[in-house]
Structure 1
């Protein structure tokens, strides 16, 4: 399995007008540095990296069976080449079942699908007063419980509310284990956010959403993120966060990266779907609970890229925020960028930023049903 593509290649060192050769990994990049505005050729970018994926194609990560495969295939058809399968706050038995179902796809990539890098455990160790669209199964964390779940399937990222009893110590312990800890679904103060960062927390879950807000006398968790974070995820569907707030976060947080927070409704017609144990409704481009609360999204990463460019980012900057920074966050130097020996995770786009082709570790993805 080998291939070669010609066009404007966005490499780690900048744009090259030429070609990229690859098998499972990139073997060579040829050409000269050149601004792509000087020609009409295709854009060749690193594959997208999405660290917050609940579902797609009518399937939810909390389901068993073939759910994870359906989700990974659908997102690959929209340019996501690697992702974290994200759980919902749920009873322990549900979490055990979900992780058991995810174990095999975390170990072996399914043909035609994105690489599932592991699990993002979004709860249950969150504040019951800031559930957002999470079911009401929040609880105080137990290190032994997290270790038990991690033994079932690899937890690469975990969301916690740092203000809950014992959670500051948990942040420290999980960080020492090598797990990436981020803060979310929290009513924590600015000071509690800063303390969690000082104890090893690395980022924030869907910045602005489901966290204590910024006020000039009570900066809250948003203030802690804007003042101190190097990394944070954000949902750029332009429903969860106003473009102006996205731009403010980009000025404050050097490695702000994008996630979809996608649900089973992604890639599906309007209607009723499941998000963990929650019933959600897709209509008017969004996903909501019956009371109108936003409940994840229908966003795909190719649309996230287009949204970023539509609010004024360059393609190169937008690419970093849908690919490179997320890979950096997980410590993956061979994903989310194109250079010799990086994985051949590649998206090819036309001049309107529509997908033309996707490659996952050198395998060309069938876009016929996208």
Structure 2
């Protein structure tokens, strides 16, 4: 039995949560609930590493350690995100991470690139950017055997719509990001099957009232989940709240976009072959571009709550919505009977006390 203020999809229940093996059996009100917050285990669908370890090199040992670091911060389900890379690295990473996916350490692989815009590349290495290749994607999908969960594509690139259709046909999420595309081009990508907006506002043409661009197209598309980096750096809290209110918690997903430096001291780090300098928790390239984050999901939850969002909405954005975005909503992402017992226990200051995955305290 776990006691506290239990954040369910229907609201907060002061009571106890009961288990049946690795599953949630029931949530029951109780007058003597503990002074703890109980949230569903966080689901991070965009993460490049942390704790001094990276997902971007295709190294399984590094990936295992990065996942363990974020697990201690409440992330019980995560995708390993690579940045733009040569095809050989993409292929090798999928093969290296497939056993970790089978083991449950990772929920899958996310390729943020290389099919992205040079004009909006951000911290992506421009050397590796290229048009989408159906041959590359077909080979990766074949060897991945379901472990490739998401690919971010700029829809204005040649062949992008065909690539999005191919991914959708194979049950892999196509995301729109790092794009200088127009409103119409992004809507065409959504029509082709894109269902996620990669770190909304960042790496995108800004809003203009005569050419709304990607941001408005994604926010206004009812089938699209919008990723939001809630670190107070990528997004002002007012922008975070605006996006969450506009899309609703059912279409807003908190992500970390974390890199190796999450949980580490200030200094120099590598991201896809580019040197990143971290100072006062902010990661930047030499040209000033933000280069991922040093965020963890528990900190993202605190930031979102501080921006004025409700705890039920934040729990949905940190777990339920991202789980649904990558096709795992029937298995995890909420505190309700029948789902996997993944949860995070927070104290009154919203700091992690302990984390449960599959019914076991880690």
Q: Structure 1 length as normaliser, TM-score?
A: 0.92
Give distance in 1, aligned partners of 2:182 and 2:174: 17
Matched, 1:356 2:350: no
Aligned to 1:81: 76
Equivalent pair of 2:44/2:255 in contact (CA under 8 Å): yes
In 2: Cα distance, 1:7 partner to 1:20 partner: 8
The offset of 1:312, in angstroms, is 0.7
Matched, 1:266 2:259: no
**Alpha-carbon separation, structure 2, partners of 1:101 and 1:43:** 37
Unaligned runs of 5+ in 2: none
Counterpart of 1:145? 136
Q: Distance in 2 between matches of 1:300 and 1:245?
A: 19
**2:307: which partner in 1?**
311
Residue 200 of structure 1: CA displacement?
Answer: 1.2
State the alpha-carbon separation in 1 of the partners of residues 60 and 355 from structure 2: 26
- Counting matched residue pairs gives 353
Instruction: Give the Cα separation in 2 of the matches to 1:320 and 1:212.
Output: 28
Secondary structure of the structure 2 residue equivalent to 1:272: strand
Q: Contact 2:39/2:343 (CA < 8 Å) preserved in 1?
A: yes
CA distance in 2, matches of 1:249, 1:314: 14
2:259 and 2:80 map into 1 onto residues whose CA distance is 11
Match for residue 178 of structure 1 among 171, 192, 202:
171
CA deviations on 1:182-234 (whole Å, 9 max, x unpaired) are 10011100010111111211121000001111000111111212222541101
CA distance in 2, matches of 1:82, 1:157: 14
Tell me if structure 2 keeps the 8 A contact 1:40–1:351: no
How far the C-alpha of 1:263 sits from its partner, in A, is 0.2
Instruction: Find the partner of 1:340 among 325, 337, 342.
Output: 337
Q: State the 1:280 CA deviation.
A: 1.1
- Secondary structure of the corresponding residue to residue 220 of structure 2: helix
SS at match of 1:53: coil
Which among 12, 17, 29 is matched to residue 14 of structure 2? 17
Distance 1:227 1:21 in 2: 39
Post-superposition offset of 1:11? 2.2
State the distance in 1 between where 2:143 and 2:82 align. Answer: 14
Change in CA separation of 1:155 and 1:353 when aligned onto 2, cut-off 3 Å? same
Question: Retained in 2: the 8 A contact 1:60–1:276?
Answer: no
Moved more, 156-165 or 138-147: 138-147
RMSD of aligned Cα (Å) = 1.6
Q: Which aligned runs of 4 or more in structure 1 are off by greater than 6 angstroms?
A: none
Q: Counterparts of 2:60 and 2:306 in 1: how far apart (Å)?
A: 38
Q: What is the aligned counterpart of 2:189 among 173, 192, 196?
A: 196
